[in-house]
């Protein structure tokens, strides 16, 4: 375990403490810092803290991936909303398998969660290197099968 990684976990926990507590007296800030350090120390001894719980190595990639994902979410949410209020409900639900090219577990989770987060597609199950996806419309399924999201997640993973 790298020292840099542990320090980053301590800082995240400390910021979380500060935001939740809202008191900035010296005593309480010290208590918060000490308890963050202690939590990370104990977690090390129990070896429950690992790369997956705090995937610091993704920090370079997500800043280009998240804005794109937000735009995708807004676009597909708008499409799904139009489908819902459409009088004839023109949906064509499809189940399909999508290849994923990610190698690490974190990258695969990121891809599956991105699929679920976008309205109109849901990852139902993961089988080997394929994701079983339920799409609300044929067009959405073809969009996903085009593989742009897969490429972008892989690029984000590769920048680690």
Partner 1 sequence: MSAAIDILSMILMGAGGVFCVIGAFGVLRMPGFYTRMHAASVIDTLGASLIIVGLLLQSGFTLASGKLLILWLLIFFCSPTASHSLANAAHRRGVTPWQPDQGAKSSSKN
Partner 2 sequence: MMYAVVVGALLVSLCLLLVRALLGPTVFDRALAGNAVGTVAMLLLAIFQFVSGRPEFVDLALVYGLLNIVGTIAVQKFFRYGDLGEPGVADEEHRL
- Binding region for partner 2 (CB under 8 A): 20, 125-126
Q: From partner 1, partner 2, none, which one binds at residue 81 (CB under 5 to 8 Å depending on kind)?
A: partner 1
**Which residues contact partner 1 by CB under 8 A?**
16, 19-20, 22, 73-74, 77-78, 80-81, 84-85, 89, 91-93, 95, 112-114, 116-125, 132, 134, 136
DSSP conformation letters of 56-121: GGGHHHHHHHHHHHHHHHHHHHHHHHHHHH-TT-----EEEEEE----SHHHHHHHHHHHHHSTTE
Q: Is 132 helix (H, G, I), strand (E, B) or coil?
A: strand
Output the smallest distance, CB 125 to partner 2, in A.
8
Nearer to partner 1, 2 or 77 (CB): 77
Nearer to partner 2, 9 or 112 (CB): 112
Nearer to partner 2, 21 or 103 (CB): 21
Angle between helix 105-117 and 59-85 (nearest 10):
30
């Amino acid at each position: 375990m790298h020292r840099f990684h542990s320090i980053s976990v301590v800082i995240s926990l400390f910021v979380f403490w500060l935001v939740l507590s809202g008191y900035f007296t010296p005593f309480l800030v010290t208590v918060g810092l000490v308890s963050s350090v202690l939590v990370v120390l104990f977690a090390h001894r129990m070896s429950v803290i690992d790369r997956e719980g705090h995937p610091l190595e993704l920090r370079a990639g997500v800043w280009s991936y998240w804005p794109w994902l937000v735009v995708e979410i807004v676009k597909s949410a708008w499409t799904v909303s139009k489908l819902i209020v459409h009088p004839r409900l023109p949906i064509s639900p499809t189940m399909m398998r999508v290849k994923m090219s990610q190698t690490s577990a974190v990258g695969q989770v990121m891809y599956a969660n991105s699929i679920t987060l976008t309205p109109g597609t849901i990852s139902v199950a993961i089988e080997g290197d394929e994701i079983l996806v339920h799409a609300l419309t044929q067009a959405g399924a073809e969009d996903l099968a085009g593989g742009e999201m897969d490429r972008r997640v892989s690029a984000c993973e590769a920048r680690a």
